[in-house]
Structures are given as structure tokens and as C-alpha cells.
Amino acid sequence: MFISSAFAQTAPAAAAGGGDMMSSLTGMLPLVLMFVVLYFVMIRPQMKRQKEHRAMVEAIAKGDEVVVGGGMLGRVSRLSEQYLHVEIANGVEVQVQRSAVVQVLPRGTIK
């Protein structure tokens, strides 16, 4: 008995929907606004950082002082397309990927 009266109450309201196109656009508006905010708050700054890092890695030259991902400091002694040879102490040289470089330090930082 309760179920039939509940269906009877909701059926006319669903059939009376005249502005379906406008209501669907209004329903999607919060989703679109959330994506726009997400783009400007997260996606765009991340893309900018990636572009700056790529430019920094491409500009590395022999003799530059760098910080590698693990926090190791050293001076670039040799370069190849994908790898750098970083001298971390006198006579001690490690090979790292270019993308592992976190920062290029000003010359004279490492004594």
C-alpha cells in the first residue's frame, strides 16, 4: 500500500520535466568548475616545473656543480646523451642519469 502511493507521487513530477537540456547543463556545471580549478591549481604548475627541469638538465655542462637525487653533491666531469659522470671526491666518479639531477649549484659552492 505504501509503495503504490510513493510511485503515484513521483510519477507526475518526472513526467512534468520540461527543461531537461538546461537541467543537465546545470548539473554538469560543478563538475566542469572542479576540473578548471584542478587544472589551474595542480596540472598547470606541474607542467611548468617539468618544463623548467627539462631545460635545466639540457643546459648542464662539464664543470657544473650539481645535486643528485639522493642528496649527493659533485662536479660534472663527463657528459653523454642520457648519463652524467659526477666526481663526488678526488678520483671518485659516479655515473647518474641526467634526470636524477635535482639542482645545478653556482660555481664554487663545492670546496
Secondary structure of the chain in the HEC alphabet? CHHHHHHHHHHHHHHCCCCHHHHHHHHHHHHHHHHHHHHHHHHHHHHHHHHHHHHHHHCCCCCCEEEECCCCEEEEEEECCCEEEEEEECCEEEEEEHHHEEEEECCCCCC
The 10s digit of each residue's pLDDT in 4-34 is 555 555 555 555 555 677 888 888 999 999 9
**Domains of the chain from N-terminus onward:** 19-59 (no CATH), 61-105 (2.30.30.100)
Using the predicted structure, report yes or no on whether residue 2 has a pLDDT greater than 70. no
